[in-house]
Amino acid sequence: MNAMTVPESRNWMSYLMDSLVNSGAMPAWEALEYLTTNLVGEAPNPHLHHSKSPYETIQQFFHRVYGPIVEAASRTVEVPKQAMIHMFTDISLMGKSAVLVVYYPGQNQPHQLLLLDSIPAWDIVFESSAAFNEWAEERFGWIVAALKTEAHRDEPAPVEPVADLQSVLVEY
C-alpha cells in the first residue's frame, strides 16, 4: 500500500477498495461487495449485528474504513521518524462506538489525540458512494489538520543569522 497515492476528493470508496486488495485482506470482487454491502444503503446496517461475532465484525469494519483514511493522512503530513500514529476502537453493540486516532511524537513526549469519532457502527451507511466520499474526506481533513499541528509543535525554532559577528565574538 505504500505505492498508493492519497486520493483526490470524491475517490475514497475506490481508495478503500485498493487498500483492502493491496493489503491482502480480500480479493477485488470481495472488497467491492464488502464495501457496497456495508457502506451504501439504508441505515441501520444489519450485516454488522447479524454476524456470529458482532463485536469482532464491527471492530474489523472500523479498521477497514478508518485505517486507510488514517494512513493517507499520515502520508500527507511529514512527521518525525520517531513518531507513530495508532488507531484504537471502543466497540459498543448497543450505543455509540468510538474510533480514536492518537499521535505518539516519540522521545518520551506525551501523546496527542488527533481524532475521536463517536458513532453507532450500524449508522455508518450512506445513500451513495458520493455521500461516503464526503464523509471520508471530512475525517481525512480533521486528521490532517490535527497532525499538522501536533507534528510540528516541538520543532526547534530556526536559528536567526547574526548580522554582526564581531559583536558576538569574545576576546580572551
Residue 159 lies in a domain: no
Query: For the domain that residue 143 is a member of, what is the CATH number?
Result: 1.10.3100.20
Residue 166 lies in a domain: no
Grid cell digits, residue 119? 458513532
Is the pLDDT at 145 greater than 60, yes or no? yes
Residue ranges making up the domain that contains 95? 12-150
Question: Angle 129-151/12-22 helices, nearest 10 degrees?
Answer: 80
Put simply, whether the predicted model's pTM sits higher than 0.75 gets the answer yes
Q: How many domains does the chain have?
A: 1
* Pairing state between β 84-90 and 112-119: unpaired
Residue 57 lies in a domain: yes
Residue 158 lies in a domain: no
Q: pLDDT per residue over 26-80, tens digit each?
A: 999 999 999 988 999 888 887 887 888 989 999 999 999 999 999 999 999 988 8
Residue 144 lies in a domain: yes
Residue 162 lies in a domain: no
Residue 2 lies in a domain: no
pLDDT band at 143 (very low <50, low <70, confident <90, very high): very high
Instruction: List, in order, residues 6 or more apart from 166 with CB less than 8 Å away.
Output: none
In whole angstroms, give the CA distance from residue 100 to residue 117.
7
Residue 163 lies in a domain: no
| Of 57, 67, 112, residue with least CA distance to 87 | 67
